[in-house]
Structure 1
């Protein structure tokens, strides 16, 4: 925070910024050698204080003072036998700031802060950082400053910001774990509100036992329409531990044993802390790493079998079209996954087509050259036929993932038929995506297969004869815009292949001019749009386009991140031809 505000202060003084390094030299020449006068953090605080006071920003000034106090790690509310110069300086500053004992005690007790205080501090820091980000962006545009960082470095930075701060439906917001080391709660209560009540229907989470007097007088910690999101939020933020007592008022939808079973499954499947994503992972399309498919948590069709006689053929136990009425035994599916950028996402599907919709979503998040997930687990909470349902869903998902990530890239007509609730659906595994089509009869069935074999490339390109290079097909990823540059080899410029967020393609041949200028202009255009990132009153676009270069090594096309410097040599090809192509350049 302090360093970011120092950079903002420099921009405010532009074009004649007073650099701290020059200040140090000047003070040495002037003989200003005191115990703290040349301390770098004290000098940063002094300069930032001058800047924020001049622009009349007391909110961020108070925040940066608190950050400085916590950074020094001298707890002034506690007596010390030995008083060093740091404690003496901090005491002097606190006295000048007018802080009372209550504020010092609160800050010194940071190790015991719980989620309310941590989230308040997290939001304060985020708002301040976003304000600095906007001020620096406006400064750069106003002065027409060019970016000296490489597109690859910018891509990694924006990915870090995007993964950490972008607010999206279904994304689990993770608070900064460095603010407080322990957010665990002794009691957590999940309460379901059905439709038609005064409050929004859905699930509410409280950090107390279900005493109605205490519940009514407190705001919930978190709300979501679906239980999966609340459990994930509590687990990944450290509120939910093995010592937490769980309570639930589920209105017959979810009872306590089912909740406890789900919590145990999630906690065993997902490690709480992982290493930060590597630059290679951040610059590459995100890939699912750990996936949990949660079946029939909130809606279980098999619950209707209780105390009933159900007629079915043991030789045809199809959980997707079960019994004489061909009912689908999957009533709801919740997805919980962590990707290679360390984002945690949740999705919910219900109804007869929940299995089809969940499959299409999972497969759509896997580009063809992606590595298989490290783990895929199916958790089923049905009252009856639980093992059968779990096994069948696990088999189906594994088969579809294998088809999506198959190494036989030339097969454009890979196909999977699935019968759900008495209706046949076709999943067509095309080069850039997976499409789903309902097949009413034999004519549609064979017609759809023939069409997909003939038109496996489901994109619009420049002419019917032009096809995307296979290396571009394999690198396509939904949700981001990708630019691929390719040298023509005949000194007639270069080719550009552009894939939008839905993997629709545009092809431009024999382009002339500067690729570096194109990259800069495109990045500037997308960074100025305000329709992607929303946090309170802040609007920032972190999901910038990604730029790649197609190069050839020993006649083999490969994709590497675009660099502003010309690529004179290419590292030797990896001996393991089954390894991901980018491994050769980032390992």
Structure 2
């Protein structure tokens, strides 16, 4: 042990040099320990890092351009480092240049690196401190260089994370945004304490914290100012990351969130840190920081690496804390966490190494804990633990993580007085915890958070059994468990549908394509071929050992579907069922949703798997037509949530149990994707409607009151009634490609566009069918006697133009009226092509006027309710008033028109124009309402005309 630094008469320059030399010596020793844990190529990575940030050379790793900021103060590469560089690049030649400015202030390693917890899989967290004067372009180049070096590290099996830091900003609380690796504003003081305790200086300026004696920690800021003012140390030689003088109590709340978030993936490391945070919270506000113990030892000249190992110090403090609370089970868990984190296997004899210090430290600790060989053998076989033991351990870990989280959050909320943490960050972490830990029906929960590498079972049994509620469910057992054994054995997992239990097994890596799966009972509806077809689909959908962390940015939005997979009719052959109940199947009607002469749906059950942007996999089970539509609405809701502009996930459907399974799956898959396209931005948007036929009924899917829903429609006439309902804004309707194919409706609605009035007509069998789409997408239909095309077009054009003109003249002066004058109605003639499909051919109405003998018929009224509003029917120059003629008005007008016609022919009467007060106001009738009104009025006149016929 070296002599302690004496501070009785105040610190002097010689004392400061001694302290600095001791810290640097400790860091050199830690770097030697780190080097022993690395492969030669990995050691080269660490040794070369300072050189790569000191110079820019195009043939060395990480080169991001000649303008990338470089230069580390007081750094000169050794000959060994230069030899490593020349191995990577034969053209490399180091030229020492005098620099006026160094843009890279320091490089530090921090975390478990070099400690007893350092393993081959440990992350390399590197703090890259830069000149605060760098502009945005220079910072981006530095980030690019860091990303390139992270990629190089990955090639060497190193997981490297650079944290680009501006020290002054860090000290003032301006931190990196929350991410999978950065804790954001949630725990800056606790992060700083860990940095002071674990950080290893690679190159550059040292932390001025080294130079503040332990007893001066409470007076840190003033002491540093004194050191600078009296020129004991040069500010250009060090960096001031800040002090631990005070910590906001809210930080314990943030730390609880952050550590629990990290604990989802690395529970053993996290539990130790959470327990340490609890110990700090117990001492609040007079916290005994571990980094101060390290500093005290260095000032006292006692810098034994084993005693100052960051993880050993952390465990010892946790042990004191938990023993003080008499929490023996939690203490045992803390010991397991340290043991597993070290990745030592003390039950196995190892070749005696010259300096196997980690093993020696663990042996001393475990002897003190009273661990016997049997316990060590069990712990060392962790990678071979099977599912039951893993689930017990997982439940224990989650229980302790949750308990510690509650302790810290209760403490913080009791004492909190200011808002030191970004509430959005807490919200994001809360969402992540919710998705990872919350259990709910249909959600595939993870049972192996880094406990073991291999859970695969050679054999499992699946039982399809009636439950107490008279429903059927699937029960999973490990090994070969027959029906009699199942009565006395607890199942490992139960689920309502097969795909849920298989997805749970697959995603938790419990079974693979080689696992023997036995099905019970023998009359089980599932065939082995279907079972393995579903497993193969899951294997393609979720490749084994492929995991993707959820970016924090995705948690800012509601969870949206990243994939949607449908398994149809699992264990059911609908064709066999239909034949059994005597339904006729021999027909040309092949639509699986309205199949055969009985118009039956071939979709009986739907098992829907949705993977979300929050990292969840959800399974829902649906039955029949209602279930199909509910699963469709769920897919729409989850597929169209989140950022505007996101491309919705496509749905895939699978059906393995019927001769028509493939066509049924393709039909449902197309339906789901067509509907999704309809409501997406690339289609016609959320204001759309989608009409679908299933069996003999129609269903209209729409978005209303912030949700997707559907309602049934019975028969073609009700379809027309629904489509003709007035709309106050444009609502286009899409008709499914196989629905209403024998009618012109799909063709008509494909032409629909906002703001246009479109007229469609066809004539056959002595009748004319007239369809008009108004500017909001409502559809008017009228059937009439066969009409001459010339007069039909002229009449409709005259009526619609008159209505638009009247509407434009009635608009307030501050609203543009020219739109109604310019948007002339469009006309289309409907006919069928060789395939029998309807096509719409544009028509241009005749330009010449109606003949002088043509009798105009106008209605003048104050409103659409003719029973309440006085009105006039004007035939040429003659006026007929409802006040004068009363109930005889229509027969009188019909008689007058009949008298004017040559030969007194009783062909239908049509209105030429409507003149209704207030037609241009927002509250006035829509075009579809006026057309319906015109149709009703014409109906009254034509009924009166029929009665006048001889």
Which residue pairs with 1:289 in the alignment? 562
Aligned counterpart in structure 2 of residue 161 of structure 1, from 411, 429, 433:
433
Which residue pairs with 2:493 in the alignment? 222
Query: CA offsets per residue over residues 103-150 of structure 1, 9 Å max, x none?
Result: 100100111112111111111111101011111111111002444332
Aligned counterpart in structure 2 of residue 237 of structure 1, from 508, 531, 539:
508
Cα distance change, pair 7–50 in 1 and its aligned pair in 2 (3 A): same
Shift of 1:200: 7.9
Aligned counterpart in structure 1 of residue 281 of structure 2, from 1, 8, 11:
11
Aligned counterpart in structure 2 of residue 59 of structure 1, from 321, 325, 329:
329
Shift of 1:212: 5.1
Cα distance change, pair 233–414 in 1 and its aligned pair in 2 (3 A): same
Tell me, what secondary structure is at the counterpart of 1:365?
A: helix
Alignment of 1:178-217 (within 5 A): 178-195=450-467, 201-211=472-482, 215-216=486-487
Cα distance change, pair 133–145 in 1 and its aligned pair in 2 (3 A): farther
Distance 1:443 1:11 in 2: 72
Tell me, what secondary structure is at the counterpart of 1:403?
A: helix
Cα distance change, pair 418–452 in 1 and its aligned pair in 2 (3 A): farther
Distance 2:645 2:573 in 1: 33
Distance 1:253 1:211 in 2: 17
Distance 1:430 1:44 in 2: 56
Which residue pairs with 1:495 in the alignment? none
Distance 2:446 2:519 in 1: 23
Shift of 1:271: 2.3
Q: Which moved more, 1:375-384 or 1:65-74?
A: 375-384
Aligned counterpart in structure 1 of residue 632 of structure 2, from 344, 353, 359:
359
Tell me, what secondary structure is at the counterpart of 2:700?
A: strand
Query: CA offsets per residue over residues 219-256 of structure 1, 9 Å max, x none?
Result: 22111122121101000000111211121115432222
The reply on whether 1:27 has 2:311 as its aligned counterpart is no
Aligned counterpart in structure 1 of residue 409 of structure 2, from 117, 137, 144:
137
Distance 2:683 2:431 in 1: 31
Unaligned runs of 5+ in 1: 458-587
Distance 2:336 2:718 in 1: 67
Given that 2:608 and 2:620 are in contact with CA atoms closer than 8 Å, whether structure 1 keeps it comes out as yes
Aligned counterpart in structure 1 of residue 675 of structure 2, from 400, 411, 416:
400
The reply on whether 1:85 has 2:360 as its aligned counterpart is no
Cα distance change, pair 408–344 in 1 and its aligned pair in 2 (3 A): closer
Distance 1:415 1:95 in 2: 72
Cα distance change, pair 102–213 in 1 and its aligned pair in 2 (3 A): farther
Query: CA offsets per residue over residues 387-429 of structure 1, 9 Å max, x none?
Result: 22112111101101101213366x6641111222322211014
Which residue pairs with 1:111 in the alignment? 383
Query: CA offsets per residue over residues 345-387 of structure 1, 9 Å max, x none?
Result: 1000013422111111111212363633555211013323112
Alignment of 1:434-583 (within 5 A): 434-440=708-714, 445=719, 448-449=722-723, 453-454=727-728
Cα distance change, pair 447–241 in 1 and its aligned pair in 2 (3 A): same
Given that 2:678 and 2:688 are in contact with CA atoms closer than 8 Å, whether structure 1 keeps it comes out as yes
Cα distance change, pair 431–370 in 1 and its aligned pair in 2 (3 A): farther
Query: CA offsets per residue over residues 44-84 of structure 1, 9 Å max, x none?
Result: 11111111111221121111110111111111101122252
Which residue pairs with 1:97 in the alignment? 369
Given that 2:527 and 2:571 are in contact with CA atoms closer than 8 Å, whether structure 1 keeps it comes out as no
Query: CA offsets per residue over residues 492-514 of structure 1, 9 Å max, x none?
Result: xxxxxxxxxxxxxxxxxxxxxxx
Which residue pairs with 1:535 in the alignment? none
Cα distance change, pair 196–38 in 1 and its aligned pair in 2 (3 A): closer
Query: CA offsets per residue over residues 480-532 of structure 1, 9 Å max, x none?
Result: xxxxxxxxxxxxxxxxxxxxxxxxxxxxxxxxxxxxxxxxxxxxxxxxxxxxx
Query: CA offsets per residue over residues 310-368 of structure 1, 9 Å max, x none?
Result: 53464422322333333221110000121122211100001342211111111121236
Distance 1:443 1:219 in 2: 57
Tell me, what secondary structure is at the counterpart of 2:639?
A: coil
Distance 1:69 1:423 in 2: 65
Given that 1:430 and 1:456 are in contact with CA atoms closer than 8 Å, whether structure 2 keeps it comes out as no
Given that 1:298 and 1:332 are in contact with CA atoms closer than 8 Å, whether structure 2 keeps it comes out as no
Given that 2:483 and 2:520 are in contact with CA atoms closer than 8 Å, whether structure 1 keeps it comes out as no
Shift of 1:430: 5.0
Distance 1:375 1:189 in 2: 33
User: Which protein has greater RCO, CA pairs closer than 8 Å, 6+ apart?
Assistant: 1
Aligned counterpart in structure 2 of residue 433 of structure 1, from 707, 719, 731:
707
Distance 1:191 1:342 in 2: 29
The reply on whether 1:253 has 2:525 as its aligned counterpart is yes
Aligned counterpart in structure 1 of residue 689 of structure 2, from 415, 437, 448:
415
Given that 1:292 and 1:336 are in contact with CA atoms closer than 8 Å, whether structure 2 keeps it comes out as yes
Query: CA offsets per residue over residues 421-480 of structure 1, 9 Å max, x none?
Result: 3222110145943221122466754565566843789xxxxxxxxxxxxxxxxxxxxxxx
Which residue pairs with 2:608 in the alignment? 335
Distance 1:38 1:393 in 2: 64
Larger radius of gyration: 2
Which residue pairs with 2:551 in the alignment? 278
Shift of 1:216: 4.9
Distance 1:456 1:208 in 2: 60
Q: Which moved more, 1:302-311 or 1:222-231?
A: 302-311
Shift of 1:210: 3.9
Greater fraction of residues in helix: 2
Please report the TM-score for the alignment, with normalisation by the length of structure 1: 0.72
Query: CA offsets per residue over residues 145-195 of structure 1, 9 Å max, x none?
Result: 444332443233223212211112110011235211111111121101124
Given that 2:526 and 2:571 are in contact with CA atoms closer than 8 Å, whether structure 1 keeps it comes out as yes
Distance 1:455 1:430 in 2: 13
Cα distance change, pair 200–317 in 1 and its aligned pair in 2 (3 A): closer
Unaligned runs of 5+ in 2: 1-270, 732-950
Cα distance change, pair 36–430 in 1 and its aligned pair in 2 (3 A): same
Cα distance change, pair 236–337 in 1 and its aligned pair in 2 (3 A): same
Shift of 1:260: 1.6
Given that 1:294 and 1:335 are in contact with CA atoms closer than 8 Å, whether structure 2 keeps it comes out as yes
Which residue pairs with 2:660 in the alignment? 385
Distance 2:710 2:336 in 1: 54
Distance 1:448 1:5 in 2: 64
Please give the root-mean-square deviation of Cα atoms over the aligned residues, in Å: 2.6
Which residue pairs with 2:651 in the alignment? 376
Please report the TM-score for the alignment, with normalisation by the length of structure 2: 0.45
